[in-house]
Amino acid sequence: MAVSSPPAPKKRKINWTPYLFLAAPLALYLVWIVGPMLYTFYLSLTDWDGISPEMKYIGLKNFQSLWNSLGKPVPSAFQYSLVNNLRWLLVFITVPVSIGLALAVMLNRDLKGDRWFKVGIFLPQVLSFAVVALIWSWVYNPRAGLINSFLLNIGVTNPPGWLADKNLAIWAIIVAATWRQIGYIMILYVAGLKNVPPTLLEAAEIDGATGWQRFWKVVFPLLAPVTTIVVVISIIDSLRSFDLVQIMTRGGPANSSSVLANLMYIQAFNNYRMGLGAATAVVLFIISLIFIVAYLWRVTQDELDY
């Protein structure tokens, strides 16, 4: 008796519906993100002024020009921008993170009116950078500003011009940016604290741990994933800082408050050196990419360990 062969497996039908839904956002992403990014890389290899139809290929000369501007006795605009971005980064991963964590710990308790405190602290994050820049420009006004008016009232006869001083301008802007950032960091940590098991804190308290020991030995290690996200967000926000600088000082006085994003804009659209501006944008992209890759590697390692 002949044995019949098993039926051939049915060919799986491809469901194209999910791909159709993904097509539109993917096309927009390619057109508005990937396309301009690749075009910026190309522009960085030219001497285009942004107006003329001629676009001469010059290779890596724009990057060489940026490199040669470093280390001079009189700091160049690019050198100022790199140093200021580094200052911004160091402040953003320390001051807002520390203050935001401290506020989150304080407001995580059942306090009367804690919701209003959270709303008030988070409110600056809702404001646009343009509004924040205008508010702090008024605060720093040398004659009628809040700070100098207070200093005059307590007897200081010659208060500083905060945004006109080469040594103070960048720090004054960083203070304004920090004021806006604290509320965002606080909310992230508040969300992380909600996931800390109360039983662990109770057990630590029974074992005789002090409040600081409970925080440092129990709470803070459990906030490690949130801290990683907070630090990465703070780094990215510090590197893409532009609005506050452009509105408050435009990089002045004498480039002392310039940052890479602001310098890129000035080179491209004010000085008509589109190629050099694109090269500055590429440098900023590479610096940002280093931190993003480090973050993705850390997250991947944690997933593999888990």
DSSP string, 54-76: ---B-TTHHHHHHHHTTT-SS--
pLDDT of residue 2: 54
Number of domains in the chain: 1
Give this prediction's pTM. 0.86
With respect to residue 61, please indicate whether it lies within any of the assigned structural domains.
no
With respect to residue 293, please indicate whether it lies within any of the assigned structural domains.
no
pLDDT of residue 162: 92
pLDDT of residue 6: 64
Asked whether the predicted pLDDT for residue 305 surpasses 70, the reply is no
* Phi and psi at residue 75, to the nearest 5°: -60, 135
**Which tens digit of pLDDT belongs to each residue from 117-134?**
888 888 999 999 999 999
Asked whether the predicted pLDDT for residue 89 surpasses 80, the reply is yes
**Which tens digit of pLDDT belongs to each residue from 36-54?**
999 999 999 999 988 888 8
CATH assignment at residue 187: 1.10.3720.10
With respect to residue 254, please indicate whether it lies within any of the assigned structural domains.
yes
pLDDT of residue 114: 78
pLDDT of residue 73: 78
Domain span including residue 207: 76-266
With respect to residue 224, please indicate whether it lies within any of the assigned structural domains.
yes
**Which tens digit of pLDDT belongs to each residue from 187-210?**
999 989 888 888 888 888 888 888
With respect to residue 6, please indicate whether it lies within any of the assigned structural domains.
no
Mean local confidence (pLDDT), 255-279 = 93
* Percent of the chain whose predicted confidence (pLDDT) is above 70: 95
**Which tens digit of pLDDT belongs to each residue from 132-165?**
999 999 999 988 889 999 999 998 888 899 999 9
With respect to residue 299, please indicate whether it lies within any of the assigned structural domains.
no
Mean local confidence (pLDDT), 91-112 = 88
Mean local confidence (pLDDT), 274-283 = 94
With respect to residue 300, please indicate whether it lies within any of the assigned structural domains.
no
The sign of the torsion formed by the CA atoms of 216, 218, 224, 226 equals negative
pLDDT of residue 269: 92
Asked whether the predicted pLDDT for residue 280 surpasses 90, the reply is yes
Show contacts of 193-201: CB within 8 Å, 24+ apart: 193/104, 193/105, 193/108, 193/219, 193/223, 194/108, 195/222, 196/222, 196/223
With respect to residue 213, please indicate whether it lies within any of the assigned structural domains.
yes
Q: Which amino acid is at 115?
A: R
Asked whether the predicted pLDDT for residue 65 surpasses 80, the reply is yes
By mean pLDDT, which of 66-70, 216-220, 265-269, 299-303 is the weakest? 299-303
Q: Where are the alpha helices (DSSP H) in the chain?
A: 17-29, 35-43, 61-68, 77-92, 95-107, 114-126, 129-139, 146-153, 169-193, 198-206, 211-214, 220-222, 224-239, 243-248, 260-265, 274-305
